[in-house]
Amino acid sequence: MNIEKSRFNMIEQQIRPWNVLDQDVLNLLIVCKRENFFPESQKSLAFFDTELPLAGGAFALSPKLEARIVQEVAAKKSESVWLIGAGTGYLAALLAHQAKHVTVTETNPELIATASKNLRDNDVSNVSIIQANGLTAQQGAAYDVIVVSGSLEIVPQGLQDMLNVGGRLFVVTGQAPVMEAQLIRRESGSSFKATTLFETVVPALPQSGHVSRFTF
Delimit the domains of the chain by residue range. Answer: 3-213
CA 85 – CA 106 distance, rounded (Å): 5
CA angle 118, 123, 128 (to 5 degrees): 70
Identify the helix (H) or strand (E) that includes residue 160.
Answer: helix 157-161
- The domain covering 3-213 belongs, at the CATH homologous superfamily level, to Vaccinia Virus protein VP39 (3.40.50.150)
Quote the pLDDT of residue 65: 97
Q: Residues for the chain: how many in total?
A: 216
In DSSP notation, 6-74 reads HHHHIIIIIIGGGT---HHHHHHHHHS-GGGGS-GGGGGGTTSSS-EE-GGG-EEPPHHHHHHHHHHH-
CA 93 – CA 115 distance, rounded (Å): 10
Quote the pLDDT of residue 57: 84
Quote the pLDDT of residue 64: 97
Q: What is the pLDDT along the chain (216 residues), one digit of tens a residue?
A: 799 999 999 999 999 999 999 999 999 999 999 999 999 999 989 999 999 999 888 899 999 999 999 999 999 999 999 999 999 999 999 999 999 999 999 999 999 999 999 999 999 999 999 999 878 766 678 999 999 999 999 998 899 999 999 999 999 999 989 899 999 999 999 999 999 999 999 999 886 654 433 333
Quote the pLDDT of residue 1: 79
**Whole-structure pTM over 0.75, yes or no?**
yes
All residues at 6 or more sequence positions from 13 whose CB lies less than 8 Å from its CB, including other chains:
none
